[in-house]
């Protein structure tokens, strides 16, 4: 599939003819659809779709696809995004001291599971510098404390702009971002929370899980919003635990969950398979 593709993500109020109108737009211009998936949320009265087609043989030049589709989208009151498969998103991974998610993302990037570039790693601790460097990414050590947070976020934003970052992946960054920062990067920050949300919001979820005596633990990848651990969920998974597992075992088992769940969420996002509406996501498969 080296043939480049275009992908439209569209959401609009439900009405008759939406599949036909969008498919016709592709067909009329000679496009060959290779993925089309639609969802109607009847409770919300919304139609949501993902449609991907090959650009070879498509009659519209790239820079006209958006404007042309907009003429269709406007009367439908549609929100839409257009992506090209050969425009690689640029990711900044943010870490603290734990390396398991970073290590895993690196391996997946090298294994070509992610069609993206990872030019920048940011951390509030210097510990993972070697790992980052070895990976070929720039490592920015930006310590944060209560007083310096606002200022440091300005530095972080500046770096994100400088590196043309499209997506921030909080790979166990362990710091709470300010609402202002989040607004600047809305729907472009993915966090991995080490619990099955909404259970065990906030700090030390494994300790909380242990104390509650649960028989299953989980991990949740979600877009970051200003309310802590309450953003739209992209992916979750769980693993069974027993009375034999103490907090250290929960942490160990949880690490495997965290990296799997985060990786799946990042991959879905990078493939433009995630549509956020309200506080929910559609993850097209």
Q: Which residues bind a second copy (CB under 8 A)?
A: 16-21, 23-24, 26-28, 30-43, 99-100, 103-104, 107, 111, 113, 134, 196-200, 211-216, 218, 232-238, 240, 242-244, 246-247, 252, 255-256, 260, 278-283, 285
Catalytic residue among 14, 63, 147, 229: 229
| Nearer Cβ to a second copy (21/141) | 21
The CB-of-236 to a second copy minimum distance in angstroms stands at 4
Show the tokens assigned to 126: 């210097």
The CB-of-73 to a second copy minimum distance in angstroms stands at 17
* Residue closest to 47 by CA, chosen among 84, 86, 21, 83: 21
Long-range contacts of 80-85 (CB under 8 A, 24+ apart): 80/8, 80/9, 80/10, 80/11, 81/8, 81/9, 81/272, 82/6, 82/7, 82/8, 83/6, 83/7, 83/9, 83/272, 84/4, 84/5, 84/6, 84/7, 84/55, 85/4, 85/5, 85/6, 85/7, 85/115
| 6 CA to centre of own chain | 19
Taking residue 161's Cβ as centre, other Cβ atoms within 10 Å add up to 10
The CB-of-148 to a second copy minimum distance in angstroms stands at 30
| Nearer Cβ to a second copy (18/91) | 18
Q: What is the dihedral of CA 171, 175, 176, 180, to 10 degrees?
A: -80
| Nearer Cβ to a second copy (153/229) | 229
| Nearer Cβ to a second copy (153/235) | 235
The CB-of-233 to a second copy minimum distance in angstroms stands at 5
Q: Are 163 and 119 in contact (CB under 8 A)?
A: yes
The CB-of-241 to a second copy minimum distance in angstroms stands at 10
Residue 274 has phi, psi (to 5 degrees) of: -110, 125
Measured between alpha carbons, how far is 203 from 15 in angstroms, rounded to an integer? 44
Is residue 229 part of the annotated active site? The answer reads: yes
| Nearer Cβ to a second copy (115/184) | 115
For the annotated catalytic residues, the residue numbers are 229
């Amino acid at each position: 599939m080296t043939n480049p593709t275009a992908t439209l993500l569209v959401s609009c109020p439900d009405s008759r003819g939406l599949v036909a109108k969008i498919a016709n737009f592709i067909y009329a211009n000679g496009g060959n659809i290779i993925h089309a998936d639609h969802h109607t949320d009847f409770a919300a009265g919304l139609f949501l779709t993902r449609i991907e087609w090959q650009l070879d043989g498509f009659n519209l030049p790239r820079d006209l696809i958006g404007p042309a589709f907009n003429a269709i989208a406007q009367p439908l009151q549609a929100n839409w995004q257009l992506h090209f498969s050969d425009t690689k998103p640029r990711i900044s991974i943010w870490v603290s001291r734990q390396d398991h998610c970073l290590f895993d993302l690196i391996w997946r990037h090298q294994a070509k599971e992610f069609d993206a570039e990872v030019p920048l790693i940011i951390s509030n601790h210097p510990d993972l510098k070697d790992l980052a460097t070895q990976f070929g990414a720039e490592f920015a050590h930006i310590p944060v404390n209560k007083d310096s947070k606002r200022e440091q976020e300005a530095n972080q934003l500046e770096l994100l702009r400088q590196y043309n970052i499209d997506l921030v992946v909080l790979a166990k960054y362990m710091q709470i971002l300010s609402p202002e920062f989040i607004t600047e990067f809305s729907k472009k920050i993915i966090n991995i929370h080490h619990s099955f949300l909404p259970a065990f919001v906030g700090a030390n979820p494994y300790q909380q899980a242990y104390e509650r005596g649960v028989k299953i633990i989980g991990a949740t990848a979600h877009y970051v919003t200003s309310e802590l651990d309450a953003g739209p969920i992209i992916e979750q998974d769980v693993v069974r635990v027993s009375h034999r597992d103490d907090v250290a075992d929960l942490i160990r088992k949880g690490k495997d969950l965290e990296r799997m769940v985060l990786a799946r969420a990042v991959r879905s996002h990078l493939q433009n398979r995630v549509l956020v509406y309200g506080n929910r996501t559609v993850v097209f498969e």
